[in-house]
Structure 1
Amino acid sequence: MMSSVDAPPLAKYLASTDKKTRDKAVKNLAVFLSNDAGNAISDLEMAKLWKGIFYCFWMSDKPLVQQALASELAELLLTITDVPSSLNFLRGFWTTMVREWSGIDRLRMDKYYMLVRRFVHASFRLLIRIEWDNSAYEEYNSILSGPSGPLCSNDIRVPASLAFHLADIYLEELDKALSVTTPSPPLPAPLYTALSPFLSLAACTQTKTTYKHLQEALFEPLFTALKPARSESPPSRKKPRLAAPAFQTLVSNACVSNPKQEGAMPSEGLRKALLQKVFDVASEEETRDSNRRKMYALYRDGVEDDEDSVG
C-alpha cells in the first residue's frame, strides 16, 4: 500500500524568474521523483508541483531551451520507477494542461503543443516498457477520458483544440515510440486500446467539428495506412483522399487488444477488426444518434473500400 508523501517545496523555485534557479529545481525534481517508488504524492502537492512546472516552461523563451526542457520534463515519466506514481505524475500534467490551456497566448501556443507531443511520446514509451500492461493502460486511458482529461466528452471546460492536437499527433508518436524503443521489436501495439478514448469521444461529443476532426485526422488516416497496397486493384467507388501518413512501424507491429496472445497481426485483418470496433461503439446505447450515423458511415465506407479492392 502506497503512502502519501509531500513533494519538497520546489514549485516556487520551478516558477522562479531566474533561469539558473529553474534549472536547478528541475534537476532536484528528477532526483526526488526517481526515489519515489512506493510513495504517492498527495493531490494537493501534485497540483502545486505542476503549477510550478507549467510556469517553469512558460518562462523558457528560446527554441532550443524550450525543446530541451520539454524533453527533460517528459522524460520524468520514465525516471519514476513506480508505474502508479508515474501515471499519477501524468495525471497531474493533463489536469494542468486542461486547466491552463485557454490562458496560453498565441505566441506561446506552439511550445505547449510541443510539450504535449513530448508527453504523448514518453507515455507510449512507458507503456511499451511495461509491455502494454492491461491495468496500467486502462488507467492511462482513464486519465485521458476521465474528469479533467483532454478527451473528456462531457466537460465543457476541456478545450477542443487540445483534443484536436492529440488526434493530429497520436498515431505519429505511437509509431515513433515503436521505432526507437528497445527491446526491438517491442510487443505489438494494441490499437483498439489506443483508439478507445478517441472512439468514446467520437461517440459522445456534442460538437460536429470535434467528430469531423477525429475522423479526418485520426480514423481515416489509420484505416488508409492499414489498407494493403495492390498494384492492380479496381478504382474505388469512393472519392480519393489526400495521402495519409504511412505509420510503417505501427502497421507492421500492431494487434487489436492483446499483444501477448494475438501477436503482430496482418494489416488486412487488423483493419477489419478495427472497423468492426467502430461499428460496435456506434451501436452502444450511449452513443449520440447523429454520431452513430457518422460512425456507421465510416464503417460502411471502409467495408465497401475493401470489397472494391478484392472485387
Structure 2
Amino acid sequence: MGKTRKRGAGSEDPQQEYQDKLNRKGKQQKLRPGIEKDLSKLQGKLKNQEDISDARIGKFARALASTDWHTRERALSMFETFLRSSENVPSDGLRKMWKGLYYSFWHSDKVPVQQELAKRLSSLVSSLEVSPLVALAYWRAFLDTMVREWSFVDRHRLDKFMSLVRMFVHACLSRMSTHEWHPDVVVPMWDGMRETLLLANDVGKGTAITGLALHITSVFVDELEQVCSSGQGQDELPDVVPSDVLSFLVEPFMVVMCTSNSMALVKRVIEAVYAKLAKKCTACMRQIEQGEDAKVEDVSKGYPFVQIDALLMAKELFDVAADPGTNQHNREKIYDVIALVEQLAEYQRGWGLAEGSSAPSTPSADGSKPRKKKKGVVFKLQNNEVFRFHKRDAVTVQKSPSAHKPMKSCARWA
C-alpha cells in the first residue's frame, strides 16, 4: 500500500512544490496541436535567422500569453534565445511580443514564481550584448507596454507589476553602470524614461500614467544606490555616479516637478528624489569627516551621490522658477527645493567640491591609505548633445583645519 499524504501538509519550499505540480500536470497534458505546430515552425525560422512575418509574430505573442504554463514557458525560452542572438529587432514586432509577455506575467501566480519571472524578463535589459540596439528596443517596448496597460491593472495584481517596474529600472541603471556611464548608453536609455515620465502631464493620459510616474519616482534613488553598491567588497565603498550623469538622470524628475499639475507627483519628486539625495549626501559627508572613526557601512550609504553638483542644480531650478510661464503652485514648491539644494551646496563649498569635481575619498579602516574608486565617465549634456567626454581619476580632497562644519539647518535632512 502506497504512502498517503496528509491533507494540509506542504513542502518546505512552496516554489518547488508548485514546480513539481506543474511537472506532474505536464506529463498528463499535451499542447494543443495548433499551438505546437506554430511554435515548431517559428523555432525553425528563429534558428535560421529568417525574417518573421506579422502573422507569425501574432501567433508567437498569443503563445506567450497562453493560459497554459508549458506553452508560455516554451515560447519564453524561444524569445530569450531569439533576442540574445539577434543584431536587430523591428520595434513594431517587439511591441507585439511584449503584449504577450505582459499577459504571460499577468497569468503568473504565487509570489516566488512572479519574482523569478520578473527577474528573468528584466535581466535581458542588462545582459543583451550582441547589439545595443536590441537592448534599447526591448527597454522602450517595455515602457510603451506599461504606459498602455497600466490603467488596466487591477488592485489584486498591482503589487507584482510594481515589482516588475522596479526590477526593470534597476536593470536599466545596471546596464549604464556596467558600461561606465558612457553617453552612448546613458542618453538613449534614459530618454525613454524621460518620455514616459512626461506623459503624466498629458491631459488625455494623465490619470492613467500618474500612478506609474509616482512609482518610478519612488524607486529611482534607491535602485541607483543598489546598482552602485553591487559588487562592493567588505572594505570597499560603492561606485560614484559622475556629477554630469547624475544631473542628467535627475533632469526628467525636475521637468515633471516644474510642469505637473498633480501635487501628489510634485510632492513625491521633492521627497523621493531631491530630499533623499540631499539627506544621503549630507550624512555621507558627515561620516567622512570622522576620518578613521568612520565605518565603511556608515560611509557607504549616500557615497554614490557625493559628486552631485548642488550649486548647478540650484541655478537650473532658479531659472525655471523665474520663468513667467511657470505655474504659481509649482513655483512655490521649486523655491522649497532650491532652499534645500542650496544648503547642500553650502556644505560642499566647505569640502572644496566645485562644479565637476571628483568624489572625496576616505581613509581605510586601518588608516593605511585612502580608498580609490574606479574611473568614471564625466560628460556634459545640453539638448541631448555630448560636449565633453573623458575619464577622470578619483582624487583625495585635503581638508584644512578650519573645514566647514555641518549647518544646523541641514540637521533635519541628515
Q: Aligned partners of 1:196 and 1:152: how far apart in 2?
A: 15
Q: In structure 2, what residue type is equivalent to 1:120? A: V
Structure 1 length as normaliser, TM-score?
A: 0.79
Instruction: Give the C-alpha shift of residue 139 in structure 1.
Output: 1.6
- Is residue 203 from structure 1 mapped to residue 251 from structure 2 by the alignment? no
Match of 2:199 among 125, 134, 152: 152
- Is residue 251 from structure 1 mapped to residue 306 from structure 2 by the alignment? no
1:90 aligns with 139
* Corresponding residue SS for 2:96: helix
Q: Which 5+ residue runs of structure 1 have no aligned equivalent?
A: 232-245, 256-264
Q: Aligned partners of 2:138 and 2:311: how far apart in 1?
A: 36
Q: In structure 2, what residue type is equivalent to 1:252? A: Y
- Is residue 73 from structure 1 mapped to residue 124 from structure 2 by the alignment? no
Q: Aligned partners of 2:105 and 2:215: how far apart in 1?
A: 19
Alignment of 1:166-245 (within 5 A): 166-181=216-231, 186=239, 188-189=241-242, 190-228=245-283, 230=286
Q: Is the 8 A contact 2:281 2:305 kept in 1?
A: no
Q: In structure 1, what residue type is equivalent to 2:241? A: P
1:241 aligns with none
Match of 2:186 among 137, 151, 163: 137
Q: In structure 2, what residue type is equivalent to 1:213? A: R
Deviations 1:66-102, CA, capped at 9 Å, x for gaps: 0000000001112322222211111100110011011
Structure 1 residues 139, 250: closer, same or farther in 2, change over 3 A?
farther
Q: Is the 8 A contact 2:280 2:301 kept in 1?
A: no
Q: Is the 8 A contact 2:200 2:213 kept in 1?
A: no
Mean alpha-carbon deviation: is it higher for 283-292 or for 134-143? 283-292
Q: In structure 1, what residue type is equivalent to 2:92? A: L
Structure 1 residues 80, 302: closer, same or farther in 2, change over 3 A?
closer
* Corresponding residue SS for 2:261: coil
1:299 aligns with 338
* Corresponding residue SS for 1:16: coil
Q: Is the 8 A contact 1:6 1:42 kept in 2?
A: no
Higher relative contact order (CA 8 A, sep 6+): 1
Q: Aligned partners of 2:108 and 2:181: how far apart in 1?
A: 34
Match of 2:68 among 8, 14, 18: 18
Instruction: Give the C-alpha shift of residue 198 in structure 1.
Output: 0.6
Report the number of matched residues. Answer: 278
Q: Aligned partners of 2:320 and 2:300: how far apart in 1?
A: 27
Q: Aligned partners of 1:211 and 1:71: how far apart in 2?
A: 30
Q: Aligned partners of 1:153 and 1:299: how far apart in 2?
A: 23
Q: Aligned partners of 1:121 and 1:34: how far apart in 2?
A: 20
Mean alpha-carbon deviation: is it higher for 43-52 or for 296-305? 296-305
2:385 aligns with none
Structure 2 length as normaliser, TM-score?
A: 0.60
* Corresponding residue SS for 1:253: helix
2:290 aligns with none
2:161 aligns with 112
Q: Aligned partners of 1:22 and 1:150: how far apart in 2?
A: 31
Alignment of 1:31-70 (within 5 A): 31-37=81-87, 39=88, 41-70=89-118
Structure 1 residues 72, 301: closer, same or farther in 2, change over 3 A?
closer
Instruction: Give the C-alpha shift of residue 275 in structure 1.
Output: 3.4
* Corresponding residue SS for 2:221: helix
Match of 1:99 among 148, 151, 155: 148
Instruction: Give the C-alpha shift of residue 121 in structure 1.
Output: 0.6
Q: In structure 1, what residue type is equivalent to 2:113? A: V
Instruction: Give the C-alpha shift of residue 283 in structure 1.
Output: 4.4
Q: Aligned partners of 2:316 and 2:279: how far apart in 1?
A: 16
Q: In structure 2, what residue type is equivalent to 1:292? A: R
Structure 1 residues 145, 152: closer, same or farther in 2, change over 3 A?
farther
2:392 aligns with none
Deviations 1:25-54, CA, capped at 9 Å, x for gaps: 1111111001112x1x22321221110000
Q: CA RMSD in A?
A: 3.0
Instruction: Give the C-alpha shift of residue 6 in structure 1.
Output: 4.5
Q: Is the 8 A contact 2:281 2:303 kept in 1?
A: no
Structure (1 or 2) with the larger CA radius of gyration: 2
Q: Which 5+ residue runs of structure 2 have no aligned equivalent?
A: 1-49, 288-296, 348-404, 409-414
Q: Aligned partners of 2:217 and 2:335: how far apart in 1?
A: 20
Q: Is the 8 A contact 1:279 1:296 kept in 2?
A: yes
